[in-house]
Amino acid sequence: MRYILCLLFLSFACSSQVFIPAKLLDNANKKYREDSFASRVESYAYISFVINKEGKATDIVLIDKSDFRDISGVAKQWLKNLTYQPARIYDKPINSEQRLLWRYDKALSSGSNDGISPRFAQSYEKTKSLVKDNDVKAEHELNNVKQATKNLTEQAFYAFISSFVYAQAKDWPRYGEHVFDAWMLKDFLDNHSAYTATKNLFDYALYKQDHRLALEVANSFKTLSGIEISAQVYQSYYDSVQQSIEQHKEITKRYSISEESPAYHAITRREVQLETVSDNVEAQLRCKNHVENVSITEMLLIPSTAIDCRLLVRATEDTELTIVESGAVHIKLGEILD
C-alpha cells in the first residue's frame, strides 16, 4: 500500500467581523414543476455546492439521495437557476460552500399526495410488530414496506423502521444510512418518531466520532414539533460532544469511494492526513468562507479562521480511503449551536 501523507499550509486571512455569507437574490425556477412521471413517487437529495464569485451554484455534488427516484439532473438544474450575492471577505467576492436538503414533492391531478397508502401502513405495522418481537423475519417483511414506499412521508417512515431492523441485525453501516435519512426527513414523521430518529442519530454520530454532525443533530432538537427539550438536557448533549472531542485526540475514518460515491468528511481537528492506494483521487476543502482544491501528497492544515469545513474526496475508480485527524480542535461550536 502506498500512503499519501499531506501537510499543506493554507494561507488566507479573515475574521468573523469581515466575512459576509452568500445570500440568495433570485430564484428563476418555476413555482410549480411539471412532471410527466405519473406516479406517487417523490424524491430528495442532500447536496453540497459551491457558490462562485459570480454568485452561481457550481461544482454540485449529491452527498445523499433517495433510493426511490433519482432526480440528480433535476436538482442540479434547479440550483443552476438560482442567483446569489456571493460571500465576501473584506468586501471581496469569494467562493463558498453551501449545503441543501432538496425535496422533490408533487401533487396529483386527483388531489394531495400526502399521507400513506393502506398497503404501506399494513406492511409497516407488520414489520414494527416483528421488530418488537425480535423476529428475524422483520428484514424480509421490510422488503414489502420498501415496495409500497412512494412519497416522502412513506420514505421517512421506511427509513425509520429500517434503522430498527438493521439495528436488530447488527448491520451498523446500513443502520447509520437509514437513521440519517430518517433524521433528514423528520418533518414527515410523527412527533415521537422524529424525536426518536434524532436521538438515535445523535448517539450514532457520537459513537462514530462525527462531532460536527452530532452537534448539528443536537441543535435540531430545538426545531422538533411537539417536543420540548429542557436547557439541562440540551446542555448534556453539548457536554457529551465536548467530552468526546477532548477524549479523542486522533480520529480515524475509513471510506470506500468511487466516482458515484465520494467521501464527504466533516472536520473536527486541524491536521488531516489522507491514505489511499489510488492515484486517481482528488480532494477539495469546502468551508463557508473558503474553498480550495488541495494536494493529496502533503498533510493538510486547516486554517484556524476557516468556518464549517468539510473535505470532499472524489475518485474515478473504486478505492479505499483513510482520513486521520489530529492536532488542535477546529470545530467552532458557535457555528453550529445557537
pLDDT higher than 80, residue 147? yes
Q: Which of 29-43, 127-141, 252-266 has the lowest mean pLDDT?
A: 29-43
Band (pLDDT 50/70/90 cuts) for residue 104 is confident
For position 110, what pLDDT does the model report?
57
pLDDT band at 35, cuts 50/70/90?
Answer: low
Question: Which residues touch 334 (CB under 8 Å, ≥6 apart)?
Answer: none
Question: Contact 230/263 with Cβ under 8 angstroms?
Answer: no
pLDDT tops 60 at residue 276: yes
Count other Cβ atoms within 10 Å, centred on residue 86.
21
Q: What is the pLDDT of residue 123?
A: 98
For 109, half-sphere exposure in the C-beta direction (CA atoms, 13 angstrom radius) is 6
C-alpha atoms less than 13 angstroms from C-alpha of 108 in its C-beta half-sphere: 14
* Average pLDDT of the residues in 273-280: 91
Report the pLDDT averaged over residues 137-148: 97
Q: DSSP readout, 36-91? A: ---SS--EEEEEEEEE-TTS-EEEEEEEEE-SS---HHHHHHHHHTEEEEPPEETT
DSSP 329: E
Residue 100 pLDDT = 95
Which stretches does DSSP call E strand in 79-235? 82-85, 88-89, 92-93, 96-104
Q: Quick check: helix, strand or coil at residue 294?
A: strand
| CB-based contacts of 272, cutoff 8 Å, min separation 6 | 6, 299, 300, 301, 302, 311, 323, 324, 325
Do 268 and 330 contact (CB within 8 A), yes or no? yes
The 10s digit of each residue's pLDDT in 105-138 is 766 555 567 789 999 999 999 999 999 999 999 9
Domains of the chain: 6-14+250-336 (2.60.120), 38-104 (3.30.1150.10), 118-208+210-247 (1.25.40)
Neighbour order of strands in the sheet with 88-89: 19-20, 88-89, 92-93
Cα separation, 195 vs 189, in Å, equals: 9
pLDDT tens, position by position, 58-77: 999 999 999 999 989 999 99
The C-alpha atoms of residue 240 and residue 203 are separated, in whole angstroms, by 10
**CA–CA dist 148, 156 (Å, integer):** 13
Across the chain, mean pLDDT equals 90
CA distances 109 to 30, 39, 106, Å, are 18, 11, 10
Residue with cell 460515491: 261
Angle between helix axes 231-247 and 191-207 (nearest 10 degrees) is 20
Note the pLDDT of residue 15. 44
**pLDDT confidence of residue 47:** 97
Asked whether the beta carbons of 292 and 2 are under 8 A apart, the reply is: no
Q: In this prediction, what percent of the chain has a pLDDT beyond 70? A: 89
pLDDT at 19 over 80: yes
Q: Give the global pTM.
A: 0.89
Contact between residue 10 and residue 302 where contact means Cβ atoms under 8 Å apart:
yes
Interacting residues of 312 by C-beta distance below 8 A, sequence separation 6+ = 48, 61, 262, 263, 264, 265, 283, 284, 286
